[in-house]
Amino acid sequence: MSGPLPAPRRDVSRSGSGIDRGQGASPTAAATRLTGPGRLGLMLLRLVLSFFFRAFRSSGAYKEAVARARSHRGVLDALGGPIDPGFWVGGSIHVSGSTGSASLATPLHGSRGDGMLRAEARKAGGVWTFDRLLVQVRGGATIDLLSGDPRLPALEIRKLPT
C-alpha cells in the first residue's frame, strides 16, 4: 500500500533564492533554474532585445532586403524554400526624415541550408538604394542579389566599386 508522495525538499541559500531539488532532479539541472532576480533580469533582457530587433525589422531597408533574398532564384536554390530570417539582427540603421543609411546582417534559414544576409543601403528622397546586398551561404558560395534577377522589379541599384 502506498501513500501520497512526500513534497519536494526546498533548499534555500543565504541570499534567499531557492533551488528546487525535487525527487529525480539532478543537482546540475536544479542549479541552472533561474529564480527571483535572475528570472526578472532575463525577462528584461528579452524585452530590450525585442524592441531593438523590432526597430530593425520595421525598417524599409530590412524589409526590402529580406523580400529580395526570399524571391531570388539563387538563394532559393541554395537554401531551399521557404526562407525565413532568424531572430538575431545586427548592424546599424540611421534615418532622419526621408534620408538615412543602413548596414545590417541577419541569418536566413531555408529547408536545405542556412546563410547570412548582408546589406548596405542609403535612403534619399524616401527611397532605399542598395549599395551591397548579398547572401553568404554556410559552407558555400556568396550570392550577389544586385547582379539582377528577372523575377524582381527594376529598382534603383548602385554598386560600390570593389
> What value does the mean pLDDT of the chain take?
75
Hey, which bits of the chain come out as E strands? 9-12, 18-21, 84-85, 90-96, 99-109, 114-124, 127-137, 142-144
Architecture per CATH, 59-147: Roll (3.10)
- Where exactly are the structural domains of the chain? 17-53, 59-147
Q: Which amino acid is at 39?
A: R
**How far is it, in rounded angstroms, from Cα 121 to Cα 5?**
63
Q: DSSP per residue over 68-104, as a string? A: HHHH-HHHHHHH-SS-EE-S--EEEEEEETTEEEEEE
The residue whose grid cell reads 534619399 is 124
pLDDT tens digit string along 20-41?
Answer: 444 555 544 444 566 677 777 7
The pTM assigned to this predicted structure is 0.61
4-8, 48-52, 70-74, 155-159: least confident range:
155-159
* Range from 38-47, 85-94, 130-139 that averages highest in pLDDT: 130-139
Q: Burial, 21: exposed, middle or buried (Cβ in 10 Å; 0-12, 13-18, 19+)?
A: middle
- Pairing mode, if any, of strands 114-124 and 127-137? antiparallel
Which has more pLDDT, 145 or 10? 145
